[in-house]
Amino acid sequence: MKKAFYEVLLPALSSLFHKDNSILRMAFRVLSGILLALLIHKVPVDNIEAIFYDWRIRTAPTSEVSGRVHLIFLNTKTLEKTVSYPDANSFYDLYSSLIAASPRRIVSLISFDRIEGSKEDKQKLADLIKKADLVTQATDQLTPKGEPELKLPPPFEFIPVRTAPPTWDRNVLAKDGVTRRMMLFYQDEWMLHPILAAEYNPEAINLSRLRGRFEFFEAEQARIAFLPQGSFSTFEWTEVTDGLKDLSDMKDDIILIGDDLNQDSKQYVMTPFDRSVKGMTLTELHANIIETLIKNSSPYPLPDFLNLFFTILISVLTVHVVLKMKPGKGILLLMSVAATFVLFAWLIYSTTGAMLVMTYPLLAIFLVYYFFIPYRLIVENRKSWEYYQKHQLLSEVEKLKTNFIGMMSHDLKTPLARIQGMTDVIAQGMTPMSSIQREALDTIRQSSEDLLKFISTILNYAQIESKGVELNLVSKDINSLLKEVSKKHEFLAKLKHIQLILELEPLFSVNVDPDLLKQVFSNLIENAIKYSPENSKVLVTSEEVDGWIQVQISDQGMGIPEDEVENIFSKFFRSKNAKSSPIKGSGLGLYLAKYFVELHGGRIQAESSPGLGSTFTVELPIQK
Ligand code: ADP
């Protein structure tokens, strides 16, 4: 069991937590997205959501009014015309005109107990209303169960009084004082609005059929599908009493009588369309409620799991964006996601009346973004710190290496020079040597020469790496340098029966560092001989091309494999061919050559056909 834990479970677990495990990282992102979404759904957002709610109501296209509701206003214009507040006689004129139009119902929002006039006049009005049996008095007072029904004082006591209360979100929900809800049913009693609407739509008094119904404070409620102000057919009081308007359209409809006197703020409500104190008259609010019920068009919320689904989706996406994408792109993507979601929610409301909670997903974008940004910063900071440390270490190691090589090479040079000196002494000595002894002495001299060359190369490299090389410019004819270097290598070429051919065109003298360039050409010519078979040719050419001095060294040697040509100027690089052959080399010659040529403002390149030969081209600018 213990063994199984150490051999199977532990590696499996550690691989799960390994940096590159994308499944685990994905799971982490999804889980944190879900967790944050669940937390965000606990935040009360009624007041923010109300802003989106109102915006949808304001901007969504509205359907046509049913035409079933008409409004009569007692307003300032009326008072100008009637001089004083209308008395019983004026009410009589109004009601007789309205009754003559045969509406289905007349609802007065102006209380009958406010009507002034003589007893006779009031009685005359009461008789008219009683005979027509069309009038209802609306009140905003609720009658709790058990209490006596509300009654008007005589002579209007027969007029039914029905509750039609406005509601505000003052201390509940959005707490902004805006009216968004209607009351449908309270303590076994239907409110006036559903009763009136049921004249045209029986669903209005069927709780199971009413759209968007919800229980709130022991009352059945629903949201109002507000229409913009002025959507209903409206008349001013004297237009009716003076018979100025054709009222035939009111037949079989509902008439609401109310005031708009700019006197009492209680007569007005704030609506999603207008948040000013006098946003809408109570009369028009009642018309909106009745209209909503006639059409059964209450905005209704979508189930909570759908809201949660969208919040989770957007949270997970945001976590992913914050942790994975470049900030600029990420923000752009999140902004488009937010815009698409808003448009989607708007379209759903416009086409179906369904309300998707918009605050949670949008809040998720902000909160998740700000929650995860510090996390990402920490991760990135750690990464760059690690890179920095690694870089520091590497450059430290590189410095140590260069110093070490330099020191070593320098210390090797002295004993080597001594060996060479001693060999010369022995060679020039008087004592005759056997052929074996002479051969041994030649090998010692050759080996120490090779070693010295190798050490010089390494020293050059160490110098470049530590403090660079300075040019000692002298006006020089490149051809003379080429001749000098070639001469030095003639012996080596002869040993391999290689023909070293020089084709040099006359050149202008240029300012160069002859020592460095001699090293360059020497390396190229030596390589050409080194990597060529016996009895082949090495061609050295020089000419002037477009303001450049061009030197080419071509051989008929083993060549360089195609995929390695681009690397041959790298330090310590040796091709597979070279490494597998007995030919010795440090892999530094071409690196130094390139460095020295570029120091002169020139360029060097190689072309090669494996098995056929190589050509190295050095170009030096004539004017520098
Ligand atoms: P080395 O000391 O190994 O010659 P160089 O830097 O001078 O180092 O050359 C790097 C490598 O390039 C050599 O090891 C060899 O593989 C290849 N190379 C250079 N010159 C030639 C050439 N003329 N023909 C074929 N290969 C060459």
Q: pTM for the complete prediction?
A: 0.63
**Contacts of residue 342, Cβ cutoff 8 Å, sequence gap at least 6:** 358, 362
Residue nearest atom 19 of ligand 1, based on CA coordinates: 527
Measured in Å, residue 576 CA sits from the centre of ligand 1 at 10
Compute the distance between CA of residue 345 and CA of residue 351 in angstroms, rounded to an integer. 10
Distance 600 CA to ligand 1 centre (A): 22
Name which residue leads in pLDDT, 476 or 25. Answer: 476
Predicted confidence (pLDDT) at residue 410 exceeds the cutoff of 80: no
Look at 2-6, 197-201, 577-581 and tell me which has the smallest mean pLDDT. 2-6
| Cα-to-centroid distance, 527 and ligand 1 (Å) | 6
Lowest-pLDDT choice from 2-16, 114-128, 258-272, 408-422: 2-16
User: Per-residue pLDDT tens for 453-493?
Assistant: 888 887 888 777 777 788 889 999 999 999 999 999 998 89
pLDDT given at position 6: 57
Q: What's the mean per-residue pLDDT of the chain?
A: 90
- Looking at the DSSP bridge assignments, the partners of residue 552 are 541, 617
Atom of ligand 1 nearest to the CA of 591: 6
Q: Which atom of ligand 1 lies nearest, measured to the CA of 616? A: 23
pLDDT in tens, 506-540: 998 999 999 899 999 999 999 999 999 999 999 99
Of 163, 159, 166, the C-alpha closest to 113 is 159
In this structure, what DSSP letter does residue 446 have?
A: H
% of the chain exceeding 90 in pLDDT: 68
- CA 597 to ligand 1 centroid distance, Å: 17
Q: Ligand 1 pocket, 273 CB below 6 A?
A: no
Is the beta carbon of 574 within 6 A of some atom in ligand 1?
Answer: yes
Ligand 1: centre distance to CA 537 (Å): 17
Q: Is the pLDDT of residue 362 over 80?
A: yes
What is the best residue among 560, 588, 594 to mutate for testing ligand 1's pocket, by most ligand atoms within 8 Å of CB?
Answer: 560
d(CA 155, CA 141): 21
Most informative mutation of 450, 590, 597 for ligand 1 (most atoms within 8 A of CB): 590
Task: Give 579 Cα–ligand 1 centroid separation in angstroms.
Answer: 10
Predicted local distance difference test score (pLDDT) of residue 17: 46
361 C-beta closer than 6 A to ligand 1: no
Q: Is 553 a pocket residue for ligand 1 (Cβ < 6 Å)? A: no
Determine which residue's CA is closest to atom 20 belonging to ligand 1.
Answer: 527
Helix-helix angle 46-59:359-428, to 10 degrees: 110
**Rounded mean pLDDT of 259-280?**
92
With a CB cutoff of 8 Å and minimum separation 6, the contacts of 592 are 457, 460, 461, 464, 519, 520, 523
Residue 498 Cβ inside 6 Å of ligand 1? The answer reads no
Ligand 1 atom 8, closest CA: 587
Distance CA 140, CA 209 (A): 25
Q: Quote the ligand 1 centre to 599 CA distance (angstroms).
A: 21
Q: What span, in angstroms and rounded, lies between the C-alpha atoms of 290 and 285? A: 9
Write the residue with the smallest CA distance to atom 13 of ligand 1.
574
Nearest CA to ligand 1 atom 23: 528
What pLDDT is stored for residue 162 in this prediction? 94
Label residue 373 by pLDDT band (50, 70, 90): confident
Residue with tokens 């008929």: 556
Q: Does residue 322's CB lie within 6 angstroms of at least one atom of ligand 1?
A: no
Q: Is 75 in the pocket of ligand 1 (CB under 6 A)?
A: no
What's the pLDDT at 10?
A: 55
Residue to mutate, 498, 527, 608, ligand 1, most ligand atoms under 8 Å from C-beta = 527
**pLDDT at residue 428, rounded to an integer:** 86
Measure 382 CA to ligand 1 centroid, in angstroms. 43
How many CB atoms neighbour CB 302 within 10 A?
17
H/E stretch holding 529 reads: helix 514-530
List C-alpha distances in Å: 524 to 515, 552, 594. Answer: 14, 9, 11
Cβ of 271 closer than 6 Å to ligand 1, yes or no, is no
- Residue whose CA lies nearest to ligand 1 atom number 2: 585
Give the per-residue pLDDT at 12. Answer: 56
pLDDT computed for residue 5 by the predictor: 56
Q: Which of 531, 536, 566, 577 to mutate to test the pocket of ligand 1 (most atoms within 8 A of CB)?
A: 531
Residue 568 C-alpha to ligand 1 middle, in angstroms? Answer: 7
The total number of residues shown for the chain amounts to 624
Question: Who has greater pLDDT, 583 or 235?
Answer: 235
Average pLDDT in the 536-557 region?
Answer: 96
Q: Which helix (H) or strand (E) holds 504?
A: strand 499-504
Residues whose CB falls within 8 Å of the CB of residue 166, separated by 6 or more in sequence, listed in order = 140, 179, 269, 282, 285, 286
Whether ligand 1 lies within 6 angstroms of the CB of 590 is answered as yes
pLDDT score recorded for residue 104 = 97
Q: H-type helices in 246-357, by residue range?
A: 282-295, 304-324, 327-352
Nearest of 603, 489, 594 to residue 550 by alpha carbon: 603
**Residue of the CA atom closest to atom 4 of ligand 1:** 585
Q: Which residue has the tokens 């957002």?
A: 45
Q: Is 613 in the pocket of ligand 1 (CB under 6 A)?
A: no
- Identity at 278, one-letter amino acid code: K
pLDDT digits (tens, 9 = 90+) for 48-94: 999 999 999 999 998 899 999 999 999 999 999 888 899 999 999 99
Q: Is residue 616 within 8 Å of residue 553, measured between CB atoms? A: yes
Ligand 1 centroid vs 575 CA: distance in angstroms? 7
Q: What pLDDT, on the 0 to 100 scale, is given for residue 271?
A: 95
Does 267 contact ligand 1 (Cβ within 6 A)? no
215: left (phi over 0), alpha (psi -120 to 50) or beta: beta
